[in-house]
């Protein structure tokens, strides 16, 4: 008889191990490994067993699955045109970013579509939710509120009230009484999600789970949830800043390239449909170390302000600090400048900040960061009404990036006059746009001579 395979699961991070140890080899948590019983693992799907293979042509679908357009356009767009009936999704974000606020506003819209909405919370009292909904001016809409964290109770309520749309705030507060692990542990999060998913898929109801993101960026360890669900959305933004970006990182019903933009106000989240009209005015006053980047977010162009400060230091390890961009990319840019311009930053602290709490991972930000860095170093402002777009290669050359024509178009629309682009892109792409002058930059040497 085959020996039953025993695996151990870290309840903190979800890593699996063949042997028990006192400390997780992945996240270094103590005493966090628990035996993963075969019961737990066999349940990790909503699909019934015992199905026979059938030809694809014999499977009939009535029509396109029904989508509910919530009317919050920034949300509908990100999710691919509305919530698909019967979908199971996840909304992640750091605590306090505005997940519950967004959800309450969505539920009100869904209630207006004559859908029955159920909001389950294990985080707040009914009282607190009422206060928030008053603030959000949600008065007439009929939303069922349930303060509960036991999955079995929630399933009973779902059977009784038959809601069309259920939000769980948050998945970390749920537990099923089939397991003894504490709420928020990987086992509870995964098994609770499984039970809900089974019900949702069999009854064709839509469920959205809210999950807190830990500092490491995981939805509290249970990465496992990301592959189970139909879509994963993240609400991003700095608490003290107004802007919030809603991003899809997985979507079985649409693309993942769209981004929704909101502003947090005293009356909740407000959609921002023409973002650049808000930002552009501030850019007319260039300072040394400041550059404007035309970021490509989904089908939109956003103008973002990059600030770089190059300061002197006596420290052996000078600072390379980045807010809103990847530190490795800054290190590459510094290395390229040191190599190809024979500059020496070993006694300079370098700080990069992307204004208003935005985050960018596009390599197209290399050129504006390089320009801002040189501008700070030389103490010379960049030309007014100018923007920069391009990736830097290790050879010191600037390289082309996607969606240049769209960015040029938006630059012209918003009143920018100069656009610095990689020479390679200008040569091959013939980019032109009435109203803006394109300046081609071959490499870091040419950029330096243009600036000084
Ligand atoms: P919340 O939705 O509770 O965040 P999460 O569920 O992601 O933890 O929102 C928290 C913050 O939003 C809180 O600090 C207050 C602020 N807020 C507003 O500024 N305006 C509002 O109308 C509401 C409801 C919240
Ligand atoms: Mg909340």
- Could you read off the pLDDT of 225-238 as tens digits, one per residue? 888 899 999 998 88
Note whether 27 and 89 are same-domain residues: no
pLDDT, residue 2, reads: 44
Question: What pLDDT digit, counting tens, does each position of 366-419 carry?
Answer: 999 999 999 999 999 999 889 999 999 999 999 999 999 989 988 988 889 999
238 and 93 in contact (C-beta within 8 Å)? no
User: Does residue 190 surpass a pLDDT of 70?
Assistant: yes
Please report whether residue 59 resides in a domain. Answer: no
Instruction: Output the domain CATH number for residue 292.
Output: 3.30.230.10
293 plus 367 within the same structural domain: yes
Nearest protein CA to atom 8 of ligand 1, as residue: 96
Among the three residues 271, 297, 328, which one is the final residue of a domain in this structure? 271
Per residue in 117-126, pLDDT tens?
Answer: 999 999 999 9
Inform me whether the pLDDT recorded for 276 exceeds 70: yes
> What is the distance in A from the centroid of ligand 1 to the CA of 100?
7
| Co-location of 289 and 345 in the same domain | yes
H helix runs in 309-437, sequence order: 327-340, 366-378, 404-413, 423-429
We report the CATH number of the domain holding residue 216 as 3.40.50.300
Q: Is residue 57 part of a domain?
A: no
Chosen domain end from 209, 239, 271? 271
| Mean pLDDT computed over 417-428 | 92
Report the chain's mean pLDDT, rounded to a whole number. 87
Ion ligand 2 neighbours, Cβ < 5 Å: 100
**Lowest-confidence region among 2-6, 46-50, 199-203, 390-394:** 2-6
Half-sphere exposure of 410 (CA within 13 A, CB side): 24
Q: What is the mean pLDDT of residues 280-305?
A: 84
Residues 317 and 192 reside in one and the same domain? no
User: Order of strands across the sheet with 16-17?
Assistant: 16-17, 7-10, 33-36
The mean per-residue pLDDT over the stretch 316-334 comes to 95
Could you tell me the sign of the dihedral formed by the alpha carbons of 398, 399, 404, 410, in that order? negative
Give a yes or no: residue 53 inside a domain.
Answer: no
What whole-number distance in Å separates Cα of residue 93 and Cα of residue 213? Answer: 5
Indicate the top mutation candidate among 90, 92, 96 to test ligand 1's pocket, ranked by most ligand atoms within 8 A of CB. 96
Flag whether 61 is in a domain. no
Are 283 and 264 part of one and the same domain?
A: no
Q: What is residue 300's DSSP assignment? A: E
For the beta sheet containing 386-388, the strands, ordered from the edge strand earlier in sequence to the opposite edge, are 320-323, 348-354, 300-312, 290-297, 386-388, 418-422, 437-441
* Adjacent-strand bridge partners of 146: 120
Task: Decide: residue 320, CB within 10 A, 0-12 exposed, 13-18 middle, 19+ buried.
Answer: middle
**Number of structural domains, the chain?**
3
CB count, 10 Å around CB of 93?
23
Domain co-membership, 245 together with 261: yes
Q: Are residues 249 and 290 in the same domain?
A: no
Provide the pLDDT for residue 239.
81
User: Please, how many CA atoms are within 13 Å of residue 298, restricted to the half-sphere of its CB?
Assistant: 19
Per-residue pLDDT tens over the stretch 24-79: 888 888 888 877 764 444 455 667 778 888 888 887 766 666 888 999 999 998 99
Q: Is the CB of 101 under 6 A from ligand 1?
A: yes
Residue carrying the six token digits 């400048």? 337
Q: 267 and 176 in one domain?
A: yes
Q: Which two tokens stand for residue 48?
A: 């019934």
- Whether residues 102 and 225 share a domain: the answer is yes
For residue 319, is it within any domain? yes
Q: Is 377 found in the same domain as 241?
A: no
Cβ of 266 closer than 6 Å to ligand 1, yes or no, is yes
Confidence label for 429 from pLDDT (cuts 50, 70 and 90): confident
What is the model's pLDDT at position 1?
Answer: 43
Q: 107 and 1 in one domain? A: no
Residue nearest to atom 25 of ligand 1 (CA): 268
- Residue at which a domain ends, from 238, 271, 304: 271
Q: Which residue has the tokens 């079995």?
A: 152
Q: What is the pLDDT of residues 133-160, one digit of tens each?
A: 999 988 877 899 999 999 999 999 999 9
Residues 326 and 237 in one domain: no
Note the pLDDT of residue 321. Answer: 96
Domain of 12 in residue numbering reads as 1-41
User: Cα 316 to chain center, whole Å?
Assistant: 36
Residue 47 lies in a domain: no
Gap from CA of 179 to ligand 1 centroid (Å): 32
Taking the C-alpha atoms of residue 289 and residue 64, their distance in angstroms, rounded to an integer, is 52
For a mutational test of ligand 1's pocket, the pick from 101, 214, 265, i.e. the residue with the most ligand atoms closer than 8 A to its C-beta, is 101
Evaluate whether 164 touches 200 at the Cβ level (below 8 Å): no
**Is residue 46 assigned to a domain?**
no
Q: Residue 46, SS3?
A: coil
List CB contacts of 315: < 8 A, sequence separation 6 or more: 349
C-beta of residue 150 within 8 angstroms of C-beta of residue 196: no
Domain presence at residue 383: yes
b/e sequence 416-428, b meaning 16+ C-beta within 10 Å: bebbbbbbbbbee
Nearest ligand, measured from the Cα of 121? 2
Would you say residue 116 has pLDDT above 80? Answer: yes
């Amino acid at each position: 008889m085959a020996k039953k395979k025993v695996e151990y699961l870290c309840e903190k991070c979800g890593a699996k191990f063949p042997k028990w140890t006192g400390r997780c080899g992945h996240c270094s948590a103590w005493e966090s490994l628990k035996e993963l019983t075969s019961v737990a693992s066999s349940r990790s799907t909503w699909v019934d067993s015992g199905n026979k293979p059938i030809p694809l042509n014999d499977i009939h679908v009535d029509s396109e699955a029904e989508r509910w357009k919530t009317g919050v356009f920034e949300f509908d767009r990100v999710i691919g045109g509305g919530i698909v009936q019967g979908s199971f999704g996840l909304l992640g974000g750091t605590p306090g970013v505005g997940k519950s606020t967004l959800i309450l506003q969505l539920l009100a819209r869904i209630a207006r579509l004559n859908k029955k909405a159920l909001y389950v919370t294990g985080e707040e009292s009914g009282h607190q939710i009422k206060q928030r909904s008053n603030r959000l001016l949600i008065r007439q809409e009929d939303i069922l509120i349930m303060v509960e964290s036991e999955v079995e109770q929630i399933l009973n309520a779902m059977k009784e009230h038959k809601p069309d749309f259920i939000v769980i705030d948050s998945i970390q507060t749920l537990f099923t009484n089939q397991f003894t692990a504490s709420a928020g542990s990987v086992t509870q999060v995964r098994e609770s999600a499984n039970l809900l998913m089974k019900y949702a898929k069999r009854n064709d109801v839509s469920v959205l789970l809210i999950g807190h993101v830990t500092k490491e960026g995981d939805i509290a360890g249970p990465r496992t949830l990301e592959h189970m669900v139909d879509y994963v959305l993240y609400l991003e933004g700095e608490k003290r800043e107004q802007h919030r970006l809603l991003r899809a990182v997985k979507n079985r019903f649409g693309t993942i390239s769209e981004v929704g933009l909101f502003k947090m106000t005293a009356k909740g989240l407000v959609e921002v449909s023409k973002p650049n009209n808000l930002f552009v005015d501030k850019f007319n006053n260039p300072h040394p170390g400041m550059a404007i980047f035309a970021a490509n977010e989904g089908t939109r162009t956003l103008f973002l302000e990059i600030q770089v400060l190059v300061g002197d230091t006596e420290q052996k390890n000078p600072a390379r600090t980045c807010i809103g961009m990847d530190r490795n990319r800054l290190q590459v840019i510094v290395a390229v400048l040191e190599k190809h311009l024979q500059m020496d930053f070993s006694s300079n602290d370098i700080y990069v900040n992307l204004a208003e709490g935005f985050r960018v991972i596009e390599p197209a930000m290399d050129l504006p960061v390089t320009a801002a860095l040189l501008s700070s170093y030389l103490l010379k402002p960049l030309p007014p009404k100018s923007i920069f777009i391009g990736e830097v290669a290790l050879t010191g050359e600037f390289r082309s990036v996607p969606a240049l024509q769209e960015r040029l178009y938006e630059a012209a629309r918003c009143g920018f006059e100069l656009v610095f682009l990689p020479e390679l892109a200008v040569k091959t792409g013939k980019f032109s746009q009435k109203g803006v002058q394109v300046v081609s930059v071959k490499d870091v040497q040419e950029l330096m001579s243009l600036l000084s």
